């Protein structure tokens, strides 16, 4: 990292505006080879725009980009890749091709562009795929390589995409929230790989909201706020300064606040003998008013199954549920919503947002009945609901009529969460509500969840992130392979104990 | 490069603040281009051909397109839920046969025939709903299957023959009934000079527009088309609404069949076949009118009127009837360029 070294990628006065709104204002940034630069910023700060410029998606930006010292035109995703800028996007699904084998997916980049042998046979594909995975130290057997890529779990898919990106020997690798779908152990595997890339002289731009990861991994930290570069630090990082640079007003760092004893309210929802997976022990669980229950567990622990079962999206096959003392057996989400059980689903694109619709229309979708007179949707009431939600969670948008696609990922998430937070449910289930959401919005969501609990609702938060759960929950439940391994309040739910329980249950 | 911007769109509150001039012009063209083309063609024909200007010709044009337009409304509804009803032509044809059978063979009055046709349309819609919602067959394939089944069973029903008044029945007797005068008025009668079929077309268009664009049920249909899983998790009974769209489409198609039966005046076995492609074309053209890029009722109605103007105009100009398909196809492709190519570029 000597100052005389030519940066792998250098940005000079890069700017970008959408329809008159400036999203990036003359950002200058040098990224040295063999360094990991973390990019931090609240939702809508311009992170995604910066990434899209570097990966050749947004081509009409101002300023200059240099690769290895010479100015370049990033006028298409292909051009960016040819110049050695590889991007691994947050949404893993966008990178893999279902229907093709793991091996074919590994060599896909070469299939798609190289002027080589068009009759690449199965054996040659397999051989090349082995080379590519060896570059990452993966050890998939031939039978794994031959199976359809959809057989792979989400973390393996992530590794596949990473392996493919590395096979092109990039100068700069951009990782956008790479751990958002990974468990702690899987994330560790990824970190080891990132460190190896750094040793190989690859520059890494690492985008994440997780400060712990950045602390462990990055050599340097830059902060974006409202399209401006507001912070630039070398290790060791001053988190207070970083957070101040990120959020206009100072906020305390995200150290988990201690879990407190709940107010022991009345039981709202009780589960008896519910089996999440075939062949596992059934579980009992009571959700009470006045407390936020956090369920933490790795990927595949049964969190999503639990949430979807309670919501009637995939009804439980065994066990009984009681809501406020009466039998509750939702067979479809409509039943759950009518009974006052609301779910914020994990995957906002697949399960929550209607593409092409405005923010207000997306918010009102579940509540059209109450917003209609004689079947006619009352638009002024709908807009008012949209405006109120936008204000309550600080969604960065032109107004409530903007289509959801115009919003950044984190702001879309705020719309999805805000849709349900504006209501007063009996039970609110939040499945991974903080994905891609900045600290400010995380606080807002947490505060609202707490208010709802205090007002007499039961709140259930499911997450793979221990710190997130400790931050928001009064009570922590550790789930592993569909069984409860810990159910603790207050000091009993101490961080180390939770982590120990999780690792012991694997 | 400063062109005078007299082409100011009637600014809606939701338009983004001051995009570039080129973008504004493009948005304007996408939004109002199709209406402009329709009006221009209308003026061209009206100025060059005297007979085109007569109100009788214009009403005839609307009468001519009313069947395809009403069928197109059904297609629009099913496109809104993300599907496509390919059986509308066959259902209209079934309607023609059922009407003829009821009045000519069973010697019933027109009202009974109308009810029988509407019931047949609803049943056809239910069959589609069963295949699509319960048996989970992709929409287009299911309705294509229904189309063949309906066409085939209709032929069996009438022994492959057209039903005409006074025909000889299987038992050697003569068919006792005929198309009642009242029934024939559906297409041929007028109220205040406007053909009944045109009034039906107009009324159904308004009703369908209110339903799809203003009610929560319409909103829900669009939601299902855009993201079915998100709709389900928002508490919507997705299956029920998709079934609803196909049943309504079946009923609308049978209304088209009623008009067609009244127009032909006999149970023509081949009736309705050619209406399918026109109905689908009209609904697809409709996605580009107003630049919405999604199925919408006014678009479908305007698309039907545009196709009517072109065919009538060209017929008066002396173009042989067999060139119609090429012209309609060209209009369809142009419309698809509008709704896919251009509007995609705008959002990019």
pLDDT tens-place string over residues B263-299? 998 888 888 888 898 899 999 888 887 767 789 999 9
% of residues, chain A, pLDDT over 90: 35
Do the beta carbons of residue A335 and residue A312 sit within 8 Å? yes
pLDDT digits (tens, 9 = 90+) for B142-155: 999 999 999 998 88
Interchain proximity A398–B216, CB inside 8 Å: no
List the single range of A199-203, A226-230, A452-456, B24-28 with lowest mean pLDDT: B24-28
- The helix/strand/coil state of A75 is coil
Instruction: Pick the residue from chain B with its C-alpha nearest to A398.
Output: B16
The CA distance from A477 to A485, in Å, is 7
For every residue of A255-318, DSSP letters joined together read PPPPP-------EEEEEEEE-SSTTS--EEEEEETT-EEEEE--TTSSHHHHHHHHTTSS--SS
User: What tokens were used for B95?
Assistant: 């309607």
Q: Where are the alpha helices (DSSP H) in A20-119?
A: 47-54, 77-82, 102-106, 108-113
> Angle at Cα B170 formed by Cα B167 and Cα B174, nearest 5°?
35
pLDDT confidence band for B3 (50 / 70 / 90) = very low
Distance from CA of A415 to the nearest CA of B (A): 13
A389-395 contacts at long range (C-beta below 8 A, 24 or more positions apart): A389/A363, A389/A415, A389/A418, A389/A419, A389/A421, A389/A422, A390/A359, A390/A418, A392/A418, A392/A421, A392/A422, A392/A444, A392/A448, A393/A417, A393/A418, A393/A421, A393/A441, A393/A444, A393/A445, A394/A440, A394/A441, A394/A444, A395/A359
Please report which confidence band the pLDDT of residue B15 belongs to, taking 50, 70 and 90 as the band edges: very low
Per-residue pLDDT, A497: 82
**Most B-contacting residue of A366, A404, A431 (CB-CB within 10 A), to test interface:** A366
Q: Calculate the dihedral angle through the C-alpha atoms of A396, A402, A408, A414, rounding to the nearest 10 degrees.
A: 60
pLDDT of residue A470: 84
A-chain CB neighbours of B236 within 8 Å are 334, 365
- Minimum CA–CA partner of B209 in chain A: A376
Q: Looking at residue A101, what is its pLDDT?
A: 86
Please tell me the distance from the alpha carbon of residue B252 to that of residue B69, in angstroms, as a whole number: 10
Pairing of strands A62-67, A70-72: antiparallel
Span A449-483, pLDDT tens digits: 888 888 889 999 998 777 788 888 889 999 988 88
Contact check, Cβ <8 Å, B230/A350? yes
Q: Domains in chain A, ordered, with CATH?
A: 1-84+170-252 (3.40.50.300), 98-168 (no CATH), 267-505 (3.40.50.300)
Q: What is the pLDDT of residue B213?
A: 93
Task: Pick B234's closest partner by Cβ from A338, A350, A366.
Answer: A366
Partner-chain contact B235 A337, CB within 8 Å: yes
pLDDT reported for residue B14: 39
Determine the residue of chain A that is closest to B293 in CA distance.
A356
Q: How many angstroms separate the CA atoms of A259 and A256, rounded?
A: 8
> Does A357 contact B at CB distance below 8 Å?
yes
- Reading the block at residue B208, the tokens are 């369908």
Distance from CA of A306 to the nearest CA of B (A): 15
Q: Which one has a higher pLDDT value, B182 or A466?
A: B182
B246–chain A nearest CA distance, Å: 20
**CB–CB contact A356 B13 (8 Å):** no
C-alpha dihedral (B147, B148, B152, B155), degrees to nearest 10: 50
Distance from CA of A79 to the nearest CA of B (A): 18
Is residue A354 within 8 angstroms of chain B, CB to CB? yes
Tell me what the mean pLDDT of segment A222-232 comes to: 89
**Min Cα separation B231/chain A (Å):** 7
What tens digit of pLDDT does each residue of A374-415 get? 999 999 999 999 999 998 888 888 889 999 988 888 889 889
pLDDT at A356 over 70: yes
pLDDT classification of A252: cutoffs 50, 70, 90:
very low
Chain A residue with CA closest to B210: the answer is A376
Q: With an 8 Å Cβ cutoff, is A418 touching chain B?
A: no
Residues in B lying within 8 Å of A, measured between beta carbons? 13-14, 16-19, 210, 214-217, 219-220, 222-223, 226-227, 229-237, 294, 347
Q: Determine, for residues B219 and A368 on separate chains, whether the beta-carbon distance falls below 8 Å.
A: yes
CB count in 10 Å sphere of residue A252 = 11
From the options 3.10.20, 1.10.150, 1.10.3470, 1.20.120, give the CATH code of B61-347.
1.10.3470
**Which residue from B minimizes the CA distance to A399?**
B14
Q: Which residue of B has its CA nearest to A370?
A: B216
Tell me: pLDDT of A261 over 70.
no
Inter-chain contact A401–B13, Cβ cutoff 8 Å?
yes
pLDDT score, position A466: 79
- Which chain B residue has its CA at the smallest distance from A373's CA? B215
Average pLDDT across chain A, whole number: 84
Q: Which residue of B has its CA nearest to A406?
A: B347
Cβ–Cβ below 8 Å for B215 and A313: no
Q: Closest Cα to residue A451, out of A469, A432, A425?
A: A425
What are the chain B neighbours of A332 within 8 Å (beta carbons)? 232, 237
Please, are residues A267 and A287 in contact by the beta-carbon 8 Å criterion?
A: yes
pLDDT digits (tens, 9 = 90+) for A176-224: 888 776 777 778 888 888 898 899 899 999 998 777 788 889 999 999 9
Question: Is residue A254 over pLDDT 60?
Answer: no
Strands B190-191 and B194-195: antiparallel
ipTM: 0.81
What is the β-pairing status of strands A376-377 and A372-373? antiparallel
- Give the pLDDT confidence score for residue B342 in this predicted structure: 67
pLDDT at residue B5, rounded to an integer: 39
Q: What percent of chain B has pLDDT over 70?
A: 92
In angstroms, the separation between the Cα of residue A341 and the nearest Cα of chain B is 11
Q: Does A371 sit within 8 Å of B235, measured CB to CB?
A: no
Inform me whether the C-beta atom of residue A361 falls under 8 Å from chain B C-beta atoms: yes
Q: Among all residues of chain B, which has the CA nearest to that of A333?
A: B235
A17: closest CA of chain B, how far (Å):
11
Chain B residues with CB inside 8 Å of A369's CB? 216
Q: Which chain B residue has the Cα nearest residue A401?
A: B14
- Check residue A250 and give its pLDDT: 38
Match 């009610």 to its residue by tokens.
Answer: B215
Strand order in the sheet with A283-288: A283-288, A267-274, A320-323, A326-327
Calculate mean pLDDT across residues A93-97.
74
Contacting residues of B for A373, CB less than 8 Å apart: none
> A-B interface: how many C-beta pairs under 8 angstroms?
82
Token pair 């009202």 is at which residue?
B111
Show residues of chain A in contact with B233, CB under 8 Å: 311, 313, 333, 343, 345, 351-352
Encode pLDDT of A272-313 as tens digits: 999 998 888 899 999 998 889 999 887 678 898 999 999 999
The minimal CB distance from A350 to the residues B18, B215, B229 is found for B229
Cα atoms found within 13 Å of the Cα of residue B43, Cβ hemisphere only: 6
Query: So what's the pLDDT on residue B4?
Result: 39
């Amino acid at each position: 990292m000597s100052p005389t070294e030519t940066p792998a990628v250098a940005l000079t006065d890069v700017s970008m505006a959408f329809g008159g709104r400036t999203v990036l204002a003359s950002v200058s940034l040098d990224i040295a080879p063999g360094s990991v630069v973390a990019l931090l910023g609240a939702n809508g700060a311009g992170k995604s725009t910066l990434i899209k410029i570097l990966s050749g998606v947004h081509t009409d930006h101002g300023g200059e980009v240099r690769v290895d010292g010479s100015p370049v035109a990033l006028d298409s995703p292909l051009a960016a890749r040819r110049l050695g800028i590889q991007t691994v996007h947050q949404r893993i699904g966008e990178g893999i091709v279902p229907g093709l084998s793991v091996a074919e997916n590994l060599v896909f980049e070469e299939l798609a562009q190289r002027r080589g042998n068009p009759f690449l046979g199965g054996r040659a594909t397999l051989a090349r795929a082995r080379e590519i995975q060896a570059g990452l130290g993966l050890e998939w057997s031939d039978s794994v390589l031959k199976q359809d890529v959809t057989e792979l779990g989400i973390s393996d898919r992530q590794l596949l995409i990473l392996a493919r990106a590395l096979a092109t020997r990039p100068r700069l690798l951009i990782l956008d929230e790479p751990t958002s779908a990974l468990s702690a152990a899987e994330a560790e595997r990824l970190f080891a790989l990132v460190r190896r890339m750094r040793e190989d002289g690859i520059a890494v731009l690492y985008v994440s909201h997780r400060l712990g990861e950045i602390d462990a991994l990055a050599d340097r930290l830059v902060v974006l706020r409202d399209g401006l570069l507001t912070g630039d630090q070398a290790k060791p990082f001053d988190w207070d300064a970083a957070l101040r640079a990120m959020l206009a007003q100072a906020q305390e760092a995200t150290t988990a606040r201690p879990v407190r004893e709940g107010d022991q309210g009345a039981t709202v929802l009780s589960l008896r003998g519910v089996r999440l997976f075939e062949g596992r022990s059934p579980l009992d669980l009571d959700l009470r008013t006045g407390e936020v229950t956090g369920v933490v567990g790795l990927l595949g622990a049964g969190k999503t199954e639990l949430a979807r079962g309670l919501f009637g999206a995939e009804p439980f096959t065994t066990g009984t549920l009681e809501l406020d003392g009466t039998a509750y057996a939702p067979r479809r989400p409509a039943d759950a919503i009518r009974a006052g059980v609301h779910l914020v689903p994990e995957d906002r694109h697949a399960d929550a947002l209607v593409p092409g619709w405005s923010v207000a229309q997306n918010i009102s979708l579940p509540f059209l009945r109450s917003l209609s007179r004689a079947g006619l949707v009352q638009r002024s009431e709908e807009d008012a609901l949209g405006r109120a939600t936008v204000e309550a969670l600080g969604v960065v948008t032109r107004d409530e009529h903007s289509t959801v696609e115009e919003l950044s990922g984190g702001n879309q998430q705020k719309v999805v969460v805000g849709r349900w937070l504006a209501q007063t449910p009996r039970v609110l289930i939040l499945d991974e509500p903080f994905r891609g959401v900045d600290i400010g919005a995380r606080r807002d969501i947490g505060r609202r969840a707490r208010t709802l609990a205090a007002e007499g609702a039961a709140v259930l938060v499911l997450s793979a992130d221990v710190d997130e759960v400790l931050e928001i929950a009064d009570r922590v439940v550790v789930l592993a392979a569909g069984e409860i391994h810990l159910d603790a309040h207050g000091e009993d739910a101490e961080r180390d104990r939770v982590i120990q329980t999780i690792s012991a249950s694997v | 490069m400063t062109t005078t911007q007299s082409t100011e769109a009637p600014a809606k509150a939701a338009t983004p603040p001051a995009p570039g001039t080129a973008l504004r012009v493009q948005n304007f063209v996408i939004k109002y281009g199709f209406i402009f083309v329709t009006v221009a063609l209308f003026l061209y024909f009206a100025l060059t051909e005297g007979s085109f200007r007569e109100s009788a010709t214009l009403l005839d044009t609307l009468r001519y397109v009313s069947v395809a337009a009403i069928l197109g409304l059904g297609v629009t509804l099913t496109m809104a839920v993300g599907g496509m009803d390919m059986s509308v032509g066959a259902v209209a044809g079934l309607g023609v046969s059922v009407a003829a059978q009821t009045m000519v063979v069973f010697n019933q009055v027109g009202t009974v025939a109308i009810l029988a046709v509407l019931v047949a349309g609803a049943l056809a819609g239910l069959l589609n709903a069963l295949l699509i919602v319960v048996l989970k067959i992709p929409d287009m394939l299911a309705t294509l299957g229904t189309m063949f089944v309906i066409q085939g069973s209709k032929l069996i029903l009438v022994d492959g023959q057209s039903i005409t008044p006074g025909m000889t029945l299987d038992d050697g007797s003569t068919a006792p009934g005929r198309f009642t005068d009242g029934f024939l008025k559906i297409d041929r009668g007028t109220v205040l000079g406007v053909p009944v079929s045109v009034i039906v077309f107009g009324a159904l268009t308004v009703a369908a527009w209110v339903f799809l664009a203003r009610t929560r049920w319409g909103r829900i249909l669009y939601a299902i088309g855009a993201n079915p899983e998100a709709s389900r998790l928002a508490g919507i009974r997705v299956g029920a609404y998709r079934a609803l769209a196909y049943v309504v489409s079946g009923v609308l198609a049978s209304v088209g069949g009623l008009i067609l039966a009244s127009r032909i005046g006999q149970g023509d076995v081949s009736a309705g076949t050619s209406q399918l492609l026109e109905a689908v074309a009209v609904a697809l053209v409709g996605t580009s009118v107003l630049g919405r890029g999604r199925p919408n009722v006014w678009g479908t109605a305007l698309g039907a009127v545009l196709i009517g103007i072109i065919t009538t105009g060209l017929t008066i100009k002396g173009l042989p009837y067999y060139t119609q398909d090429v012209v309609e196809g060209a209009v369809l492709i142009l419309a698809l360029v509008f709704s896919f190519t251009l509007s995609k570029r705008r959002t990019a």
